[in-house]
Amino acid sequence: MFNPFTEVLEQWIDVEQYCTTLEKVLHKHAQLSKHIRAQYLDVHKVL
């Protein structure tokens, strides 16, 4: 028997996983950019 809700739920799980992954990646990028900015500012203080 076809159940439309199962399909919706499966898609929702995919969306949740996608969002979680995206948040992790963005968090890593944010940390990396902070680190790069800090190093960049340190270099410019020296100059």
The pLDDT of residue 47 is above 80: no
* 19 closest CA partner among 7, 11, 4, 31: 11
What integer best gives the mean pLDDT of the chain? Answer: 87
Mean per-residue pLDDT for 7-32?
A: 90
Predicted TM-score of the model (pTM): 0.55
pLDDT for res 36: 93
pLDDT for res 43: 85
Using the Cα atoms of residue 28, residue 34, residue 37 and residue 41 in order, give the sign of their dihedral.
Answer: negative
pLDDT for res 45: 82
